[in-house]
Amino acid sequence: MFETLAVVGATGAVGRIVLDQLADRDFPYKRIKLLASQRSVGREVQVKDQTVKIELLAPGAFQDVDLVIASTPDEVSADFAPYAVKEGAVVVDESGFWRMDPTVPLIIPEVNPQAIAGHQGILASPNCSTTQMVVALAPLHQACRVKRVVVSTYQATSGAGLAGNVELESSVRAHLDGGANQPETFQYPIGFNLIPQIGGEKHQGYTSEEMKMVYETRKILGDEDIQVCPTAVRVPVMTGHSESILVETEEPISVEKAIELFNAAPGITVVDDLDRKQYPMPKDCVGKDDVFVGRIRADISGNGHGIAFWCVSDNLRKGAATNAVQIAELLQSSVASA
């Protein structure tokens, strides 16, 4: 068992859910520390029946820590993870900083649990838009080999943290009242609008968010030949990322086969009955841990090797907190069985 657990960034949108998930899933530990920047030090947070004071994230803080679950910006993770590991902790990191490091396993427990073997102290949880897509792609890849993915995202404002939702609400209220509000978290007003940019330019006109979906997908599925054409768009939805996905496979794939594969896969719930108006929607996926797929149909522009579908998941849960806690559980069971 990991005796002492540290949660870094516990007061953020994802960190709060990490604490909930640790409680809900009865993750075993003896002692919990909450670490954050100077700004939050001394704040008290309720963790199950304990009141825990936030301590400073700084060298030395991990001397007595076995396992860390961290939800911080990239630059914070770049700074603290090395000394946390040096001080003897294993770090499950939700930031983008370590994901493509060749020494860092990038894990979705339902998809590539074997990749935790040989970790060197840091394990990364994928980007939210990647995670839900790869959970859905994995069974198709295993059965029919995914060659190409065309994906357009509809990403919720909570992907930018609590501030994203606050800004959506104020932007919507300002619009309804005939006023205007100055965007701070997003590039432009997001209320009743769409912003087709998440992250800065990274590669040939694609944003950093889009390229995460290319690189991380290949790493998690262990196949550098998978081609991905992503378009990442911010939408005025608070929680729940949605994705319109077209997948082309090496082996031919039927709709029936795809549904069978989705139904048999862990972490996927199929909601698919167009006649009865059944399909995944953000409002129905908030607070749930699964990846929901629907609108599953043949690619009518293709040659029998393609499937189109619609995929929704709670970006704060499977897209972040839940996946990180699942990685911790995986580490826990590998420690237990060692």
First to last CA, the chain: 11
Cβ atoms 113, 138 nearer than 8 A: no
Q: How far is the CB of 132 from a second copy (least distance, A)?
A: 14
Has 285 been annotated as catalytic? Answer: no
Angstrom distance (rounded) from CA 297 to CA 312? 16
Handedness of CA 92, 94, 98, 99 (dihedral sign): positive
Q: Is 199 annotated as a binding residue?
A: no
Q: How far is the CB of 187 from a second copy (least distance, A)?
A: 5
Closest CA to 9 of 55, 67, 49, 63: 55
Looking only at residues 270 through 289 of this chain, which bind a second copy when binding is defined by CB under 8 A?
274-275, 277, 279-283
Q: What's the DSSP call for residue 176? A: H
Residue 312, beta-bridge partner list: 242, 292
Q: Is 295 annotated as a binding residue?
A: no
Cβ atoms 17, 49 nearer than 8 A: no
Catalogue the E-assigned strands of the chain.
Answer: 4-8, 31-36, 44-47, 50-56, 67-70, 90-93, 122-124, 146-154, 201-203, 206-207, 227-231, 241-249, 268-270, 291-298, 306-313
Has 128 been annotated as catalytic? Answer: yes
Candidate ranges 31-39, 75-83, 120-128, 295-303; the one touching a second copy (CB under 8 A): 295-303
Q: Is 39 annotated as a binding residue?
A: yes
By DSSP bridging, strand 44-47 and strand 291-298 are: unpaired
For residue 214, state whether it binds a second copy (rule: CB under 8 A). Answer: yes
Among 73, 113, 121, 302, binds a second copy (CB under 8 A): 302
For residue 294, state whether it binds a second copy (rule: CB under 8 A). Answer: yes
Q: Is 323 annotated as a binding residue?
A: no
For residue 35, state whether it binds a second copy (rule: CB under 8 A). Answer: no
Candidate ranges 8-16, 136-144, 205-213, 320-328; the one touching a second copy (CB under 8 A): 205-213
Candidate ranges 29-37, 97-105, 150-158, 327-335; the one touching a second copy (CB under 8 A): 150-158
Residue with token string 């908030």: 286
Please, which residue, 47 or 246, has the CB nearer to a second copy? 246
Which residues are part of a known binding site for phosphate? 99
Contact positions vs a second copy (CB under 8 A): 148-150, 152, 154, 168-169, 172-173, 176, 187-189, 192-197, 200-201, 203-207, 214, 227-229, 231, 233, 235-238, 242, 244, 246, 255, 274-275, 277, 279-283, 294-302, 306, 308, 310, 312
Q: Return the active site residues.
A: 128, 241
